[in-house]
Amino acid sequence: VLLTSGEQIDGIFAANWANFYSYAASGAFTDLTDLIPTYAPNTKTQLTDQMWSEGSVDGKIYAIGTNYKEYTPGGFIYREDWRKELGCAPITSIETAEAYFRAVKEQKGITPLNGTANGIILRMNVWYGGDFYHIAGEESLIVKVKGYDTPRNVVSMVHDESYMAMAKRAAQWAKEGFWPADAINSQTGTDVTLKAGTGAAHQCNPAGARGIIQEQTIQGNPAEFEYFCYTELTGVAVANISSNNCFAVPKSAKYPERTVAAVDYIRSDRDAYNIIFYGIEGKHYSVTAEGKLQVPAEGQDPTVVKGWDYANWNFRNPEMFINPVVDWDKWESLNEHFETQYKDNIHWPFYLNKDPIATELAAMAQVTAEYDNQIIYGMGADPEKMVNDYRAALEKAGLQKVIDEVSRQLFAYYDSVGIK
């Protein structure tokens, strides 16, 4: 709304998953190519050529990305102490996750996915269980690549056997009470119930799990947590491209060079970086004699001062990180494990022009709104019929045209960069 209103904006968070490439291609952002060398000399050297290309469209730089290599696959954090108490096997698959949820429900009388649980149901069973990869970072697009090693296998996720299997499994889970009967309309996050001990799992990426564990440790929660990452289902971990979290300068900015200089300053000056990321020293944080980050500051009551929380992902610079005193003890080993599963993120860094299929996408979105969540939450007496009806409605809405057009654009991008 801000970008289309004409309001003067100095700078704005941007991301490939928030239509950065389409906005850039439509002229919403300022070309930064000639500004970077003069006004962001530190950032220019901190980002690689590949990172700068990921913030570009048609050879022009429209965004300053992050040089932080980050893995944000799906997964869920859960009560490891409960798993042990209930005698469940370590969670390594959909089946072992199901066994844990069932034990929590039957033996502890607790609703395991107590809140908005659609993330766990869909992502674990289909996105990763079906080995799907988002095209151009479009998570909501049901047309995806199936199989990392088959990048030209562009299909409808809903038409895959994994989606039908999910629907049948979800119907069974709903009968067993794995989530509240009103979960489809719930405003309660499963993170809230997990922390309160009234839920057993919460969908999040690894950084989200780390944040919960740090927070709960600081607040004195004795619960033991663990994290199951869905990359264990595929054996593939792709790092985010730099435009996953970046910063752009809208065309309406009066002084774009000042915005670029400010970003460079925040990323490279210790005092500026600390106040943006860590807050007020002595209140939100302090630095120990060992150079560790204490949150909140030494002497502060953690129930009163929560630390500084600001969505500053686009400014992150690993050269400026201060490691925390209280941390998830498996954070480093998990990221090291991702490195063993690493593959290039080949499906994201290109602009998907939706104009040729805008009518079909709008029609498909209406169909998805009618069917998807009901299927995910196991509603309806016949899940197989619901899925088949959903598929037929998508086909009527123009699914094949969308598959053909997405394939055409994606394959042209592949050809341009040498992906077979």
Give the integer Cα–Cα distance in Å for 368 and 391.
10
Mean pLDDT computed over every residue of the chain: 94
User: So what's the pLDDT on residue 32?
Assistant: 98
Q: Name which of 67, 61, 64 is nearest 47 in CA terms.
A: 67
Q: What is the DSSP string of 212-235?
A: HHHHHHHTT----EEEEETHHHHS
Q: Is the pLDDT of residue 6 over 80?
A: no
Place of tokens 């992050």: 66
Average pLDDT over residues 40-63: 94
Average pLDDT over residues 130-134: 95
Q: Is the pLDDT of residue 350 over 90?
A: no
Tell me the pLDDT tens digit for each residue of 328-342: 999 999 999 999 999
Tell me the pLDDT tens digit for each residue of 80-121: 999 999 999 999 999 999 999 999 999 999 999 999 988 899
Q: Is the pLDDT of residue 313 over 90?
A: no
> Angle at Cα 236 formed by Cα 224 and Cα 232, nearest 5°?
35
Place of tokens 């992150």: 316
Report residue 164 as tokens.
């039908």
- Output the pTM of the full model: 0.89
Q: Is the pLDDT of residue 309 over 80?
A: no
Q: What percent of the chain has pLDDT over 70?
A: 100
Q: Are the beta carbons of 118 and 131 closer than 8 angstroms?
A: no
CA gyration radius, the chain: 23
| DSSP E strand stretches across 313-401 | none
User: Which has more confidence, 167 or 26?
Assistant: 167
Give the integer Cα–Cα distance in Å for 200 and 207.
19
User: So what's the pLDDT on residue 348?
Assistant: 80
User: So what's the pLDDT on residue 22?
Assistant: 85
Give the integer Cα–Cα distance in Å for 25 and 275.
34
User: So what's the pLDDT on residue 235?
Assistant: 97
User: So what's the pLDDT on residue 18?
Assistant: 86
Q: Is the pLDDT of residue 4 over 80?
A: no
What is the DSSP code (8-state) at residue 348? S
Q: Name which of 206, 204, 245 is nearest 332 in CA terms.
A: 206
Q: Is the pLDDT of residue 268 over 90?
A: yes
User: So what's the pLDDT on residue 3?
Assistant: 75
> Residue 286: phi, psi to the nearest 5?
-145, 160
Tell me the pLDDT tens digit for each residue of 186-199: 999 999 999 999 99
Average pLDDT over residues 202-230: 95
Q: Is the pLDDT of residue 136 over 80?
A: yes
Q: Quick one: pLDDT band at residue 307, thresholds 50, 70, 90?
A: confident
Q: Quick one: pLDDT band at residue 312, thresholds 50, 70, 90?
A: confident
User: So what's the pLDDT on residue 16?
Assistant: 87
User: So what's the pLDDT on residue 301?
Assistant: 92
What's the Cα-to-Cα distance from 364 to each of 138, 308, 371, rounded to whole Å? 14, 41, 11
Burial of 153 (0-12, 13-18, 19+ CB in 10 A): middle
